[in-house]
Amino acid sequence: MKHARQHRSDHPLRRLHFAAGIPPRRLRARSAARVGSTAAICSGVKRLIETFAKSNLRIFLALLALVMAAQSAGAVGTAMLAWNRNPESNVAGYRVYYGSKAGSYSQVVDVGNQIQAEIVNLAPGNVYYFVVTAYNTSGDESMPSAEVFKVMPANQPPVVSLQSSLGAVALVAPASLSIEALATDTDGTVMKVEFFQNGQKVATDLSAPFVLPWSSTAAGSYSIMAVATDNSGATGQSASLVIQVTAPSFGITRMNGDGTFQFTAETSGSEASVVEVSEDCRTWSAMSKITVMEDGGFLDPDAPNLRKRFYRVRSGGVLLSNVVGFARIAAPAGYSIIGSQFVNGSNTMNEVFGNAPEGATFFKYDAVRKQFAVNNYFGPSFGWDQRGQVLLPGEAGFLYNPATNAVDIVLQGRLPLGRSTVPMHAGYSIVCHPMPMSGVVGRDLDYPQTEGDILFRYRKGRFLISNYFESVKRWDFPPDLNVGEGFYLYRQVAGTWERNFSVGQ
């Protein structure tokens, strides 16, 4: 047993005796369960010392060695005291005085006839000082023992880390996994672990193993963090476990030679998939007739009879991250203005207008250089001679069809999601709506009309001209646009044409 340092004015084994034949002065009895106030206890100890000094009595009641017992690692905030039992038959019990200042004791505990005591709820990191007195059946109390002290160790916070049942943190919705918090405490007990998602508490586990059953049907980034609390109230925080959940997405689209439309989709495995269709990207309904391919893709057998159709898929109740579709644009003989409204690969001319009539010519206007770039089409075996030319959604140009009749040009791919921005320069430019939608430009298609705008549509070999007047906030001839149709535009000031689109729109 390790002995703590003792402050002494006398040897701890010195016996204090009652003088023979001289009655002892009776000291005030203390209740075994009472804990006195700081002032009262200090005053009592002082009077006790003064009384024995004045009377010069030797007390026969003996208080032997007071020692600090060894403390287990888990007993945070606890001091174990032990002393030798007095041999006198009339010893009734012992009192432990203690405080955080040497020679000054703010607390007292009557432990009865025990010769050891466990003092609890001591603040970590503080120094505590202890003395013990003995009292007999007559209520007489001995002088205090030599003082011992104990430095309470500072509480060590728990340590916690996170691990997922799948290991991976990049998942496809709907996603689920178990996240376990591995929490330990070197000098106490882990009482609870709280789990937080993106800063908000989502669960509390009060016993090991500390597990969070986690799931999400929505795509996004999720930051999971755990906070462990020990029996002394100290906390430890884990590093964040970031889970990336992506919605299943569409893959490649293809218009087959027989006119059927085919697309692949990365779905969530065993979850049921429902294909929804729309003719205007506004109203959606479930398809009743769809062919599921061996590779997991889908084929629309009704596509040959349709001018346009758009598709989205729900897998396990979750919308996939893209909308795909096609639009057949009738390019009349001669000139027309056609624009790009899908994302197809890198949006090169072979990807945007891959089935143009042989001998066609496309004129893309450069608004900065104020000149046209000319591109010629030499059939499917060769493609466009300026094959690196790119036509992004919202860009348009003049298409010359050398045939004597109209030819369907198929636009296909993914619809641009989020905010699409079409730059419009001061002066002339050729643009189209960035989505395959039709309607009146200012009313339905969110065109940012300004004073002096002149819009030129080219139909049936002639320009249809519309002028906008800000003073009356109207067009003289409200311009409407078809899917895939572009227009020649004059603006007095530069601007942007923006459109927001989401899968759930």
- 140 in Cβ contact with 26 (< 8 Å): yes
**Cα-based distances in Å from 144 to 35, 52, 56, 89, 345:** 17, 11, 16, 20, 91
- 350 in Cβ contact with 384 (< 8 Å): yes
Per the listing, tokens 């206890």 go with 41
Burial 280-306 (b: 16+ CB within 10 A, else e): ebeebeeeeebeeeeeebbebeebeee
Query: What's the pLDDT score for residue 440?
Result: 95
Q: How far apart are CA 107 and CA 139, in angstroms?
A: 20
- 187 in Cβ contact with 76 (< 8 Å): yes
Sign of CA dihedral 279, 283, 288, 291: positive
Model confidence pLDDT, tens digit, residues 27-71: 333 333 333 444 555 555 555 545 444 333 233 344 444 555 544
Token pair of 251 as six digits: 């893959």
Q: Which residues of the chain have pLDDT under 70?
A: 1-76, 165-168, 172-174, 217, 247-252, 266-271, 296, 321, 505
Query: What's the pLDDT score for residue 43?
Result: 58
Q: Considering just the CA atoms, what is the radius of gyration of the chain in Å?
A: 44
Query: What's the pLDDT score for residue 320?
Result: 73
Reference 76, options 2, 3, 158; nearest CA is 158
Reference 377, options 365, 389, 392, 394; nearest CA is 389
Query: What's the pLDDT score for residue 68?
Result: 53
Model confidence pLDDT, tens digit, residues 97-122: 999 999 999 999 999 999 999 999 88
Reference 60, options 82, 32, 90, 31; nearest CA is 90
